[in-house]
């Protein structure tokens, strides 16, 4: 007897292969099974996607047989497959590409034998551990200590674990009640996604913890997924979740998932989530594809953060997929949930009643898409306006730099305020979103500038190691002694980055002569991607700031995100003006969010009154600052949404970008021109607008020329229809010199 199954493998949509390949199999394999299959000269991992129709006689000849099935791993469930399939369709990629990219890389390389060996080893280790502690599997209550030593707090007794829980504020209690309050009549559809609109410091994390606790105690199979935008933020979150839940569910119950982990760690976390052993998965955007059969809650922290949008391969939005995943999971649960009758028929067997999955998006400055969804009533809004402990929000000081002397970098009032912080033993945080010393070097005698040889961008001057570095392709060169063009010695930095800002601020303050209240010398430090490149140096520098070794911290936006610095009472944005009149319509939204987050760094300690956020600007009358000053996100959102309605921009329209990379700009443009011409004959063409192709803002990166064009529609469905048909036409379009092309659906930067 022979069976035919459709298998997806990691081939991109351009490969010319269909979505799935048909293989012959001795047994009928269920959808979701992991298999190893031959493809050309290679042997690779595939996923059974379904039963296939028997191929005709001719096709049967070239149909190969499945090599093996990794039967140690349970098949990936229907919801997981549906999420992958949706993502592939929506973002215009191949199913196999999305599916296989969602698995841990090590799984892709291993065969069944290796995997079995590995699992046996782990089972053995676990058994040993249990024998030692005398703890049965799933005995709960007591932590198992944890083999990796991930938690020193592993074996807290009950009384102490209770002290892990801080008392919830009234608004937290109210918000949680609202979140779970939406009662679900038996035939109801999925619960609405919720937006937790909470000021910085209002204790959003505590809400996540309590919602997680509530979901986990409902059933022994329940699982929770918590996503954060950056790897940097996972350790502190992991610490809090482990502290809270390891005493209840064991140290293995919390696992992390992000690209900074070793392949072995990633595989381990993935398996733990897949088997249900892990109850909580914490991770970055990649975690949205974690296999979690018991998923009942997804939290997307800082949901507005652009990091949730993948910028390589399938350009999906993990936040949007999280919302979709919760919906599909709920629908599945409602479908399979036994009606009261059938439950009676089974005579009360312990068949698990599938639970719906909720999703909570958290932010102090939500994306306008999410905010708009709340206004329309599609999402439920949960408000937490007050900070925990009633710490006051920072007062905004807008400094009109038009009034400052021509060459002045810092307003005298700002310098005085920083100075005052030092004498009071408080900290200041100055941020400028540009690393390096100066963005470009220029010759004083001729036209020479420090252009990158491979990109249409300048090389940035880094004084610290006297290099010129391209931030786009990574090229690094020594700074020339003289102008390479004319030999002039006088080549000078133009503009400033964090390095120079630190230097000039130190000078302007006379930092060498400044003393803290205890008589020790004041210290200025810098923190950006350059100073935190080495492993562990971020933690080291954060520790220094926490311990009070640093009085003034200069840095890029990384210092504005997430980290709690207790003694900071002043935050200053050096020059955020470029975002005010940017051609990118999302720039104001990002700026507002960034400044709000930065302001949130100040005044976390209620005992230190008078927290201030300073902004130096040439445009003090810009409405963005008025809204910021009033801490009025709703007002800002209203104004932005009004502008977007007028201009017909998202969320009132739907966009996709098509990007081309080629040897020459002409070839890139030629492809887009051909694409434009081909579009006229494509389905739903009448419902979309195609804009002319343009070179990208940085036209050439690493000697590759780039161009893009925008496609827009009033209807998401029409855009989807158009893109998928257009795509198959474009696959057949050959242009000399074209390297690759891709579609970016719902692009964030244009």
Residue whose entry in the numeric block shows the structure tokens 């080629």: 662
Contact call for residue 42 and DNA (CB under 7 A): yes
Q: Find the binder of DNA among 22, 370, 498, 616 (CB under 7 A).
A: 22
Distance spanning both ends of the chain, measured CA to CA: 55
Q: Find the binder of DNA among 3, 12, 488, 639 (CB under 7 A).
A: 12
Please, which residue, 8 or 368, has the CB nearer to DNA?
8
Kindly state the smallest distance separating residue 5's Cβ from DNA, in Å.
10
Q: Which of 40-48, 562-570, 604-612, 677-685 is the region at the interface with DNA (rule: CB under 7 A)?
A: 40-48
DSSP per residue, 178-219:
HHHHS---TT--PPPPEEEEE-TTS-HHHHHHHHHHHHHHH-
d(CA 156, CA 134): 16
Kindly state the smallest distance separating residue 471's Cβ from DNA, in Å.
24
Please, which residue, 34 or 216, has the CB nearer to DNA?
34
d(CA 480, CA 450): 10
Please, which residue, 17 or 523, has the CB nearer to DNA?
17
Contact call for residue 64 and DNA (CB under 7 A): yes
The tokens describing 643, both together, are 């502008």
Q: Find the binder of DNA among 1, 41, 56, 607 (CB under 7 A).
A: 41
Kindly state the smallest distance separating residue 733's Cβ from DNA, in Å.
13
Q: For residue 231, how many other CB atoms are within 10 A of its CB? A: 16
Contact call for residue 18 and DNA (CB under 7 A): yes
Q: 697: closest CA among 593, 594, 578?
A: 578
Please give the order of strands across the beta sheet that includes 467-469: 460-462, 467-469, 476-478
Kindly state the smallest distance separating residue 62's Cβ from DNA, in Å.
5
Contact call for residue 39 and DNA (CB under 7 A): yes
Please, which residue, 313 or 692, has the CB nearer to DNA?
313
Contact call for residue 40 and DNA (CB under 7 A): yes
Q: Which of 33-41, 206-214, 377-385, 527-535 is the region at the interface with DNA (rule: CB under 7 A)?
A: 33-41
Contact call for residue 14 and DNA (CB under 7 A): yes
Kindly state the smallest distance separating residue 659's Cβ from DNA, in Å.
14
Residue whose entry in the numeric block shows the structure tokens 């676990």: 126
Assign 3-state DSSP to the chain and report helix, strand, coil percentages, each to 5.
40, 20, 40
Q: Find the binder of DNA among 53, 58, 62, 185 (CB under 7 A).
A: 62
305 HSE (CA, 13 A, CB side): 25
Kindly state the smallest distance separating residue 16's Cβ from DNA, in Å.
4
Site string for DNA, 445-464 (x = CB under 7 A): --------------------
d(CA 659, CA 707): 6
Omega before 651 within 30 of 0, i.e. cis: yes
170 HSE (CA, 13 A, CB side): 3
Contact set for DNA, span 139-178 (CB under 7 A): none
Contact set for DNA, span 558-577 (CB under 7 A): none
Number of residues that bind DNA (CB under 7 A): 21
Which residues are CB-neighbours of 216 under 8 A, at least 6 positions away?
222, 224, 245, 248, 249, 279, 280
Contact call for residue 63 and DNA (CB under 7 A): yes
Q: For residue 13, how many other CB atoms are within 10 A of its CB? A: 22
Contact set for DNA, span 711-740 (CB under 7 A): 736, 740
Q: Find the binder of DNA among 3, 17, 369, 725 (CB under 7 A).
A: 17
Contact call for residue 61 and DNA (CB under 7 A): no
Contact call for residue 38 and DNA (CB under 7 A): yes
Kindly state the smallest distance separating residue 288's Cβ from DNA, in Å.
22
Q: 365: closest CA among 342, 343, 393?
A: 393
Contact call for residue 548 and DNA (CB under 7 A): no
For residue 148, what are the CA distances in angstroms to 126, 225, 255, 260?
12, 21, 12, 17
Please, which residue, 16 or 519, has the CB nearer to DNA?
16
Contact call for residue 50 and DNA (CB under 7 A): no
> Which positions lie near DNA, rule CB under 7 A?
10-12, 14-18, 21-23, 38-42, 62-64, 736, 740
């Amino acid at each position: 007897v022979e069976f035919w199954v459709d298998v997806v493998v990691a081939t991109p949509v351009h490969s010319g292969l269909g979505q799935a390949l048909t293989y012959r199999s001795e047994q009928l394999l269920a959808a979701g099974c992991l298999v190893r299959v031959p493809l050309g000269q290679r042997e690779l991992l595939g996923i059974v996607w379904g039963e296939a129709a028997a191929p005709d006689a001719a096709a049967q000849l070239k149909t190969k047989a499945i090599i093996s099935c990794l039967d140690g791993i349970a098949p990936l469930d229907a919801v997981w497959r549906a999420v992958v399939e949706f993502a592939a369709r929506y973002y215009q990629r191949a199913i196999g590409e999305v599916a296989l990219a969602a698995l841990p890389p090590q799984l892709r390389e291993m065969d069944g034998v290796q995997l079995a060996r590995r699992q046996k080893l782990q089972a053995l280790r676990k058994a040993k551990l249990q024998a030692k502690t005398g703890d049965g599997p799933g005995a709960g209550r007591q932590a198992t200590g944890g083999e990796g030593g991930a938690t020193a707090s592993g074996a807290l007794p009950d009384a102490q674990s209770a002290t892990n829980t801080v008392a919830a504020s009234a608004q937290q209690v109210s918000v949680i009640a609202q979140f779970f309050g939406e009662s679900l009549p038996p035939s109801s559809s999925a619960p609405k996604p919720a937006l937790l609109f909470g000021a910085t410091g209002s204790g959003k994390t505590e809400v996540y913890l309590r919602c997680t606790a509530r979901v986990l105690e409902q059933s022994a199979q329940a699982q929770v997924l918590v996503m954060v935008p950056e790897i940097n933020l996972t350790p502190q979150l992991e610490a809090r979740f482990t502290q809270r839940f390891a005493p209840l569910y064991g140290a293995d119950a919390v696992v992390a998932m992000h690209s900074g982990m070793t392949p072995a760690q990633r595989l381990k976390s993935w398996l733990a989530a897949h088997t249900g052993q892990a109850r909580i998965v914490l991770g970055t955007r990649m975690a949205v594809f974690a296999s979690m059969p018991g998923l009942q809650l997804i939290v997307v922290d800082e949901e507005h953060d652009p990091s949730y949008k993948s910028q390589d391969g399938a350009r999906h939005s993990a936040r949007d997929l999280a919302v979709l995943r919760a919906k599909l999971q709920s629908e599945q649960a409602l479908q399979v949930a036994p009606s009261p009758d059938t439950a009676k028929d089974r005579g009360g067997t312990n068949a698990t009643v599938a639970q719906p999955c909720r999703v909570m998006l958290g932010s102090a400055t939500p994306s306008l898409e999410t905010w708009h969804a709340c206004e329309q009533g599609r999402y439920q809004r949960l408000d937490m306006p007050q900070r925990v402990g009633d710490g006051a929000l920072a007062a905004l000081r807008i400094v009109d730099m038009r009034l400052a002397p021509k060459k002045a970098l810092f307003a005298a009032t700002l310098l005085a305020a920083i100075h005052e912080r030092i004498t009071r033993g408080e900290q200041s945080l100055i941020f400028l979103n540009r690393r390096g010393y100066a963005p470009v070097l220029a010759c004083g005698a001729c036209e020479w500038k420090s252009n990158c040889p491979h990109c249409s961008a300048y090389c940035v001057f880094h004084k610290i190691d006297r290099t010129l570095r391209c931030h786009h392709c990574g090229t690094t060169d020594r700074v020339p002694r003289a102008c390479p063009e004319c030999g002039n010695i006088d080549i000078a930095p133009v503009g400033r980055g964090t390095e120079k800002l630190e230097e000039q601020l130190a000078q302007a303050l006379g930092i060498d002569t400044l003393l803290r209240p205890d008589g020790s010398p004041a210290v200025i430090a810098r923190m950006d991607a350059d100073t935190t490149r080495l492993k562990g140096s971020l933690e080291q520098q954060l520790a220094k700031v926490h311990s009070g070794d640093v009085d003034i911290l200069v840095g890029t936006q990384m210092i504005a995100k997430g980290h709690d610095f207790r003694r900071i009472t002043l935050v200053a944005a050096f020059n955020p003006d470029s975002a005010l009149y940017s051609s990118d319509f999302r720039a104001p939204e990002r700026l507002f969010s960034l400044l709000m987050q930065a302001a949130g760094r100040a005044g976390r300690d209620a005992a230190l009154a008078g927290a201030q956020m300073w902004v130096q600007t040439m445009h003090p009358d810009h409405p963005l600052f008025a809204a910021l000053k009033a801490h009025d996100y709703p007002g800002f959102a209203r104004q932005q949404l009004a502008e977007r309605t007028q201009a017909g921009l998202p969320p009132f329209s739907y966009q996709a970008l098509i990007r081309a990379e080629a040897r020459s700009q002409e070839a890139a443009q030629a492809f887009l021109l051909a694409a434009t011409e081909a579009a006229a004959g494509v389905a739903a063409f009448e419902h979309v607008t195609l804009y002319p192709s343009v070179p990208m803002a940085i036209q050439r990166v690493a000697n590759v020329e780039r161009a893009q064009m925008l496609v827009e529609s009033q209807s998401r469905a029409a855009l989807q229809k158009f893109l998928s048909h257009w795509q198959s036409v474009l696959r057949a379009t050959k242009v000399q010199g074209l390297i690759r092309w891709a579609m970016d659906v719902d692009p964030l930067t244009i």
